[in-house]
Amino acid sequence: MQKILIIGIPGAGKSTLSFILAEMLDLPLIHLDKHFWNRGWVKTDEDIWQEKVKELVLGEKWVIDGNYNSTLHIRIPPCDTILFFDYPAYLSFWRVLKRSIFQRHRPRPDMADGCGEHFDFEFYKWIWNFNRRHRPHIFEMLEKHAAGKKLIVFKRPSGVTRFLDQLRHDLKNRS
């Protein structure tokens, strides 16, 4: 695992897992939110965004965390491993709501400067409808671009725990 792509529904734990994997495997960490969002939650222009992602995937090794369906066709081909958080919407919705309450206005290490945690009704709607509206596109992109890649789908948090336990075991035995 040298080029790991972490995708899936918001609030599932993509950023948390990416921090852990980058440290465990000594890989550079790229949070797409840090590159897409500008101060005050201003989006990057789509043409500039596409070019930025093309630059980001040129690295020899990385963990890239984030959805951004419009760039999956750029990120899937160079990766060797895809970790897909395929959680129910209600679980992710609840996690993001809790994060919004307990981390309100605080910056996150995976987010651009000037983009603190806040209540965003449109984002909550987006999460609630993610599996119906966005999940099919992810599967379409995986089918089209992920042949030969290692694909691991997490249906619940316990799957992530098992994955990390196995990886720790494998790394310990490799030393």
CATH of the domain at 19: 3.40.50.300
Question: What residue numbers bound the domain in which 49 lies?
Answer: 3-174
- What does pTM read for this prediction? 0.90
One-letter amino acid of 57: V
Q: What is the pLDDT of residue 8?
A: 96
Q: What is the pLDDT of residue 148?
A: 96
Q: Report strand pairing: 37-38 vs 42-43.
A: antiparallel
Cα three-residue angle 16-150-90, rounded to 5 degrees = 45
Q: What is the pLDDT of residue 120?
A: 77
Q: What is the pLDDT of residue 104?
A: 66
| Dist CA 2 CA 59 (whole Å) | 10
C-beta of residue 104 within 8 angstroms of C-beta of residue 118: yes
- Count of structural domains within the chain: 1
Listed as ranges, residues in the chain with pLDDT below 50 are none
Here the tokens at position 45 are 């222009």
Q: What is the pLDDT of residue 103?
A: 67
Q: What is the pLDDT of residue 114?
A: 72
